[in-house]
């Protein structure tokens, strides 16, 4: 492909799509940063997002309101988080196995429910989706306005959460407690911090954000549910956490890179360049793989990550 | 003086042991009260009960005459109790101030006002002489400074009663002096201190009264002014102890180990050993004294071929060793009692007999034609259990389920039964009670009498002084000095361990006659 064609890809539309594609990954990754900071690896974000995507559509279909759909998605995400939390925190099950099992279960369950509820049809149901909401004045900023401020409200919610969650993690006593629980839970316990409660809190938060992230993909992008529609973006969110060195801001930045890869893939396909589409579909995942290799090393990872915590164990 | 704390009939069982068996004890306001006892006597358990970390099976706690129930550390903190755990409860990646304020409400909760908190930390550290920089990350700090952070943590929470669990175990002699100064200051300011230790001399020096625990029971509570070290030792162990050993006179034979100008890096990539040289001869014990973390582990790794040497060379029985060839080093007659018996000494999920044959598993008589000879393994294991007095329900028991002392005997049996020419002993009595300690030392002396050369690395100066013939002091990966034990000067060694003093080269004092 010629260099002009390549440069031609970087249009306002491309950057717009980058933000749009990055926001679900960023939101899920933000939640996962908190979960991991508290010492839990939730491999099941994919499941959380899939549940959010499906129940978002269901909520919207039943109520006729996309907003209710998002709330339903959030609730579904939190329930998934709660189940995961119960298994790994209370029952102290292996986090990796539990997360993986949850992914498979959610895939089966959503596909099944989708057939039962919406029936088997040629064209998927269309429900009330979430529409872009340009922000007055801000949208008129040259260049950036169109890219950043003509998005859907859920993208604005993502901006908001990036700021709030970064601030909260490093500038509040809550953030300090969360980090302590993931670094040295026993020390936290000796200071009267309930490890179990904070871990549940983080898993629920991660679930809520994962659910909403899923509904971005279904309600804001397709206005419908398709089997396995998360298609590995949950895992990309996990990679974004590592990429971003367990920092909410970093994870959001990493999500942007993955969003760009996604957007690129769509643009190139639209240009119908002479590239096999399978190769392009691979692009975001390939970038993830390369990113994880470059940003490897565990220095920044919470020390107690994946280690179950037992209360009455004296060292 | 009024009573601050009264514990009545505290009972706490763990599976298989009664860690606290009807313990009653009274602590007076403003005193330094020692809890003295061997490892496993139940000191930590009792204090964890008082601090709300463990729930007692039975018993009552009274604070200032009132019965209280302490169900969590939070409640203990509210009652003005602070505890400095033996294994510090600090978060390495946090700053000093973050560690101090963790879990406490801030004036503008939940906003974290770190500047204001730093100010408070500074005030406390100033008042009590607890010197530490509130902004530095805890993993940068020395062990002594980390301990000061722990004390500040308790004071920040307005502790009136401070529990210190074996606070001196990890300190250099000069750091101990600093700690004692701080403790005296605390008492002056009206605090009560509970000082847990198994070191008699320290207890005599800093404490007003001592409660001696043995096997989960109180032996007695006495005034330090009305007792002495040997009486305390007898109460602690339940019999007379002899920590002085009669060493047979040995003439040192040929060199079994020569370390020549060795430098190596630590796992973190910083210089851990810098130009280290030392020799060990047949029939002698050479001690390496020093505070934990000054290159001792790296030195052992280097000798065992487990660490890359950047400069210098190591010779065993005159032959240079190659790294990554631990198998061959072992076969050449080197035995090693590793620092961490859980991580390196044994496989916790393996049975006693499996662990005993770990180093010789593919040799006769254990293995014949690629198959284990179970009869040979059994009779060997049973012999070892008898010879080393390993208290175990059977040779099939998992070593992880044995007590620390018995685990160490298993390691000892495996390493010594090979009749090695060189023994590298890393903290061989760490965590053992007085009885087991005595046993291990006797064993090492027996090996010396047999003609083995022994390199004894220990942070317990007393251990090195009691059994080694010669000693070297290590500090930040360098040898600070070398001397014969018989004319060692304690004060000098202390200064060398702290890195303050260094012996000029070639100054090893004459062997006394
Ligand atoms: N969490 C636990 N589970 C089982 N046994 C324990 C536990 N904590 C302590 N013990 C046992 O209780 C006894 C007393 O231990 P501890 O209070 O730590 O003694 P000390 O502090 O005096 O060395 C020991 O036999 C020890 O093995
Ligand atoms: Mg203890």
ipTM: 0.89
Task: State phi, psi for A304 to the nearest 5 degrees.
Answer: -90, 10
- What's the pLDDT at A315? 35
Which runs of E-coded beta strand occur in B15-114? Answer: 17-28, 32-36, 58-63, 66-68, 81-84
Number of Cβ atoms within 10 Å of the Cβ of B510: 7
**Is A3 inside a domain boundary?**
no
- Nearest CA owner, ligand 1 atom 27: B40
Measure CB to CB from residue A180 to each of B54, B77, B102 and give the nearest one: B102
What residues are in contact with ligand 1 under a 6 Å CB criterion?
A 313-314; B 14, 17, 19, 37, 39-45
Locate tokens 């119960």: which residue?
A86
**pLDDT < 70 positions in chain B:** 1-3, 239-246, 248, 505-513
**Is A54 inside a domain boundary?**
yes
In angstroms, the separation between the Cα of residue A180 and the nearest Cα of chain B is 7
**Is A169 inside a domain boundary?**
yes
Residues in chain A: 315
Closest CA to A190 of B129, B166, B159, B26: B159
Instruction: Report, in this order, helix, strand and coil percent for chain A, each rounded to 5.
Output: 70, 0, 30
| CA triple A189-B161-B234, angle to 5 deg | 100
| Yes or no: domain B255-333+420-508 corresponds to CATH 3.40.50.300 | yes
Reported pTM? 0.78
If pLDDT is split at 50, 70 and 90, which confidence band does A313 have?
A: very low
Q: Which residue out of A175, A176, A188, A196 would a mutagenesis test of the B interface target, given it has the greatest number of B Cβ atoms within 10 Å? A: A176
CATH 3.40.50.300 in chain B is located at 3-237, 255-333+420-508
- What's the pLDDT at B369? 85
**Is A32 inside a domain boundary?**
yes
Distance of CA A65 to the CA centre of its chain: 23
Average pLDDT in the A302-314 region?
79
- What's the pLDDT at B339? 87
**Is A222 inside a domain boundary?**
yes
Q: Are B443 and B417 in contact (CB under 8 A)?
A: no
- What's the pLDDT at A228? 94
- What's the pLDDT at B242? 52
- Tokens read off for B470: 């010669």
Task: State phi, psi for A15 to the nearest 5 degrees.
Answer: -70, -35
**Is A313 inside a domain boundary?**
no
Find, in chain A, the residue whose alpha carbon is nearest to that of B55. Answer: A312
The more confidently predicted of residues A2 and B175 is B175
Would you call B372 an interface residue with chain A, using a CB distance cutoff of 8 Å? no
Would you call B44 an interface residue with chain A, using a CB distance cutoff of 8 Å? yes
Closest CA to B448 of B254, B248, B243: B248
Contacts of B100 in chain A (CB under 8 A): none
> Could you give the C-alpha distances from A81 to A30, A58, A84, A91, A174, in angstroms and in order?
14, 19, 5, 14, 20
The CATH number assigned to the domain holding A64 equals 1.10.3470.10
| Yes or no: domain B3-237 corresponds to CATH 3.40.50.300 | yes
* Tally of domains within chain A: 1
Judged on CB neighbours under 10 Å (0-12, 13-18, 19+), A291 is buried
- What's the pLDDT at B430? 79
* Domain residue limits at A116: 12-130+151-296
Average pLDDT in the A242-249 region?
91
């Amino acid at each position: 492909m010629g260099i002009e064609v390549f440069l031609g890809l970087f249009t306002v539309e491309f950057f717009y799509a980058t933000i749009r594609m990055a926001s679900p990954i960023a939101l899920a990754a933000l939640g996962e940063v908190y979960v991991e900071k508290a010492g839990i690896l939730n491999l099941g974000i994919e499941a959380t997002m899939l549940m959010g995507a499906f129940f978002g559509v269901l909520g919207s279909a039943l109520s006729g309101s996309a907003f209710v759909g998002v709330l339903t998605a959030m609730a579904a995400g939190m329930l998934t988080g709660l189940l995961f939390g119960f298994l790994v925190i209370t029952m102290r099950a292996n986090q990796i196995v539990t997360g993986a099992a949850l992914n498979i279960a959610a895939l089966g369950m959503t596909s099944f429910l989708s057939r039962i509820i919406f029936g088997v049809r040629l064209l998927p149901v269309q429900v009330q989706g979430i529409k872009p909401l340009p922000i007055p004045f801000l949208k008129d900023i040259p260049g950036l306005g169109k890219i950043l401020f003509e998005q859907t409200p859920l993208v604005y919610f993502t901006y908001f959460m990036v700021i709030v969650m970064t601030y909260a993690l490093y500038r509040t006593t809550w953030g300090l407690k969360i980090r302590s629980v993931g670094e040295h839970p026993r020390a936290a316990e000796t200071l009267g911090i309930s490890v179990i409660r904070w871990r549940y809190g983080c898993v629920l938060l991660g679930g809520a954000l994962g659910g909403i992230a899923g509904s971005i993909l279904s309600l804001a992008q397709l206005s419908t549910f398709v089997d396995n529609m998360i298609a590995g973006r949950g895992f990309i969110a996990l990679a974004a956490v590592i990429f971003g060195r367990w920092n909410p801001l970093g994870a959001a930045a990493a999500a942007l890179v993955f969003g760009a890869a996604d957007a690129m893939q769509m643009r190139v396909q639209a240009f119908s360049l002479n590239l096999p589409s399978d190769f392009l579909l691979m692009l975001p995942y390939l970038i993830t793989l390369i990113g994880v290799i470059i940003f490897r090393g565990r220095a920044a990872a919470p020390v107690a990550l994946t280690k179950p915590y037992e209360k009455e164990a004296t060292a | 003086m009024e009573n601050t704390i009264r514990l009545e009939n505290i009972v706490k069982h763990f599976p298989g042991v009664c860690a606290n068996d009807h313990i009653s004890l009274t602590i007076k306001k403003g005193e330094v009260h020692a809890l003295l006892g061997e490892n496993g006597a139940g000191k930590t358990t009792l204090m964890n009960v008082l601090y709300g970390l463990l729930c007692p099976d039975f018993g009552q706690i009274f604070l200032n005459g009132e019965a209280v129930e302490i169900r969590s550390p939070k409640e203990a903190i509210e009652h003005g109790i602070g505890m400095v755990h033996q294994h510090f409860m600090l978060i390495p990646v946090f700053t000093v101030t973050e560690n101090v304020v963790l879990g406490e409400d801030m004036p503008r909760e939940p906003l974290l006002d770190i500047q204001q908190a730093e100010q408070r930390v500074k005030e406390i550290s100033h008042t009590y002489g607890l010197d530490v920089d509130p902004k530095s990350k805890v993993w940068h700090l020395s062990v002594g400074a980390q301990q000061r952070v722990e004390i500040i943590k308790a004071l920040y929470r307005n502790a009136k009663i401070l529990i210190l669990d074996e606070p001196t175990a990890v300190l250099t002699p000069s750091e101990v002096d600093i700690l004692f100064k701080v403790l005296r200051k605390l008492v002056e300011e009206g605090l009560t201190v509970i000082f847990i230790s198994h070191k008699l001399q320290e207890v005599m020096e800093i404490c007003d009264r001592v409660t001696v625990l043995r096997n989960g029971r109180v032996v007695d509570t006495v005034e330090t002014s009305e007792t002495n070290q040997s009486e305390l030792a007898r109460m602690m162990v339940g019999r007379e102890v002899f920590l002085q050993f009669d060493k047979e006179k040995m003439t040192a034979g040929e060199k079994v180990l020569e370390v020549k100008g060795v430098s190596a890096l630590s796992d973190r990539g910083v210089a851990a050993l810098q130009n280290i040289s030392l020799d060990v001869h047949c029939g002698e014990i050479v001690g390496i004294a020093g505070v934990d973390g000054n290159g001792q582990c790296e030195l052992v790794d280097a000798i065992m071929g487990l660490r890359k040497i950047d400069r210098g060379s190591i010779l065993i029985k005159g032959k240079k060793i190659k790294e990554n060839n631990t198998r061959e080093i072992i076969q050449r007659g080197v035995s090693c009692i590793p620092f961490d018996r859980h991580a390196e000494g044994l496989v916790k999920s393996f049975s006693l007999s499996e662990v005993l044959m770990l180093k010789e598993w593919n040799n006769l008589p254990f293995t014949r034609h690629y198959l284990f000879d179970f009869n040979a393994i059994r009779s060997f294991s049973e012999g070892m259990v008898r010879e080393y007095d390993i208290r175990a329900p059977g040779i099939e028991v998992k070593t992880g389920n044995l007590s620390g002392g018995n685990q160490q005997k298993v390691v000892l049996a495996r390493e010594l039964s090979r009749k090695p020419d060189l023994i590298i002993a890393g903290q061989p009595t760490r965590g053992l009670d007085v009885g087991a300690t005595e046993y291990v030392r006797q064993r090492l002396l027996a090996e010396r009498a047999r003609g083995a050369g022994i390199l004894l690395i220990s942070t317990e100066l007393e251990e090195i002084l009691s059994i080694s013939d010669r000693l070297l002091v290590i500090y930040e990966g360098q040898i600070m000095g070398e001397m014969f034990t018989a004319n060692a000067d304690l004060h000098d060694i202390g200064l060398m361990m702290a890195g303050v003093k260094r012996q000029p080269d070639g100054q090893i004092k004459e062997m006394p006659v």
